Amino acid sequence: MSSAHHPAPAPQGSTTRFRALTPRDLDGLLQRVSLSASERLALRAVSAVLPFRTNAYVVDELIDWSAVPDDPLFRLTFPQAGMLPAPDLRRMADLLARDAPRTELLRAAHEIRMRLNPHPSGQLDANVPVHEGRRLTGLQHKYPETVLVFPRQGQTCHAYCTYCFRWPQFVGEADLRIATDDIDATTAYLRAHPEVTSALITGGDPLVMSTEVLSRYVEPLLEIDTIRSVRIGTKSLAFWPYRFTRDRDADDLLRLFERVVASGRTLALMAHVTHPRELHPPVVRQAVRRVRGTGAVIRCQGPLVAGINDSADAWAELWDETTTLGAVPYYQFVERDTGPQGYFGVPLARGHQIFRDAYARVSGLARTVRGPVMSAMPGKVCVDGVAEVAGEKVFVLHLIQARDPDLVDRPFFAAYDEGATWFTDLKPAFGASRFLPGLDAH
């Protein structure tokens, strides 16, 4: 009998019933720390533009309130004044201070969002597939073998990360959201594209949905012979581990996982983990054991972000904790060129040094991780290091995934730039006009 059917340990405290905390709760939550009225106003101003949502588990179990505002889990989940450009922050704060009409607030927020590159890397044009003349706007098909599915009911999370690159999903503007509830169109597209072997159900967080609703998206995939793996992108292990232990349908969820595995497919839980403290609570370990007991694989990934995990110590501990739990370190991402990247971004040169220093301190089991990786327009660009070639200091890079599979795993070089934080900041080395035939930064 799998661990999916073993009763979970009794819950501790009052955090086992989920309740979302939103911007209307922000002022009350901030009473826990000594912030001035103007500081609280600034954080409210940020939350009027970029999404804020948390819950009692995050607030009571993960954040060290004695270390706020420097606590990394506070920075991970609560707005920071630097997340908006100073003029935009002042504008929103002034509107809130004078109790401006809601229509004026929404208009100002929309204008600011449009300057924050809400959908990078071709998400709304180059990635949207077409089937029988119809654009399937709730799917993304960037790489030949993988399709991303965005269930309409799963486009929120148990809590939001402040640096999230998918922030447009959560701000309430329908024209910015990627979502579908057309399961028939999704399966028709997958049947018409046998090159697709992996379906990634993502969001938001699909595990905010009930198991009954999630099943509507998962079960049809098991009828498509060419789909060999099902992935579910989630932050719930970190932000609401009770989803796997004490939620009303937790056992149903694990039985769904078992059905996927029993069908002969891989089920991969793509767990978004940013800081080692997210893995420390005993309930997380219980949740991991239950998930692994279904035959599912847990792969852990997250971005390198300033002020939260930009140290080799944090990453070495994270990868060690991951492997101890029996999960697989997968990607260390570079903070994407959207939203508050200017606040959270780490220069590529420093990012690689952090990656290398952490990588050198973990066992071979943890060296499944790849990074730092940019999910850029051409594909997943990995920074392999800094070298001197023909007298020129350069970044050495390669594509782990690419729109054009012919570009995968071919090394190329960019001129060294200590301040570069994204692929589009880089220029080809040696005076070349492009990095590789068919590859440039834009």
- The burial of 4, by beta-carbon neighbours within 10 Å (0-12 exposed, 13-18 middle, 19 or more buried), is given as buried
pLDDT tens digits for 244-290? Answer: 999 999 999 999 999 999 999 999 999 999 999 999 999 999 999 99
pLDDT tens digits for 233-244? Answer: 999 999 999 999
Tell me the pLDDT of the chain (442 aa) as tens digits.
344 444 333 334 445 689 999 999 999 999 999 899 999 999 999 999 999 999 999 999 999 999 999 999 999 999 999 999 999 999 999 999 999 999 999 999 999 999 999 988 777 788 999 999 999 999 999 999 999 999 999 999 999 999 999 999 999 888 888 999 999 999 999 999 999 999 999 999 999 999 999 999 999 999 999 999 999 999 999 999 999 999 999 999 999 999 999 999 999 999 999 999 999 999 999 999 999 999 999 999 999 999 999 999 999 999 999 999 999 999 999 999 999 999 999 999 999 999 999 999 999 999 999 999 999 999 999 999 999 999 999 999 999 999 999 999 999 999 999 999 999 999 999 999 999 988 876 6
CB atoms near residue 34 (< 10 Å)? 9
At residue 302, the pLDDT reads 98
pLDDT tens digits for 197-224? Answer: 999 999 999 999 999 999 999 999 999 9
At residue 23, the pLDDT reads 95
Identify residue 48 by its one-letter amino acid code: A
At residue 8, the pLDDT reads 39
At residue 7, the pLDDT reads 38
**Cα–Cα nearest to 152, from 128, 133, 116, 180:** 180
Determine phi and psi for 310, rounding to 5 degrees: -85, 60
- Count of residues making up the chain: 442
Rg, Å, the chain Cα set: 22
At residue 3, the pLDDT reads 41
Model confidence pTM above 0.75: yes
Determine phi and psi for 268, rounding to 5 degrees: -115, 120
At residue 14, the pLDDT reads 46
Distance from C-alpha of 326 to C-alpha of 298, rounded to nearest angstrom = 8
Let me know: does 219 contact 145? Beta carbons within 8 Å.
Answer: no
In the beta sheet, which residues pair with residue 301? 272, 331
Looking up tokens 């001129």 gives 415
* Strand 379-389, strand 370-375: pairing: antiparallel
One DSSP character per residue, 183-236 reads HHHHHHHHHH-TT--EEEE-SS-GGGS-HHHHHHHHGGGGG-TT--EEEEEE-H
Residues 6+ apart with CB under 8 A from 176: 113, 118, 119, 168, 169
For the chain, the domains span 3-114
In the beta sheet, which residues pair with residue 302? 332
Let me know: does 204 contact 156? Beta carbons within 8 Å.
Answer: yes
Let me know: does 260 contact 307? Beta carbons within 8 Å.
Answer: no
At residue 442, the pLDDT reads 66
At residue 16, the pLDDT reads 64
Helices (H), strands (E): how many in the chain?
14, 15
At residue 152, the pLDDT reads 96
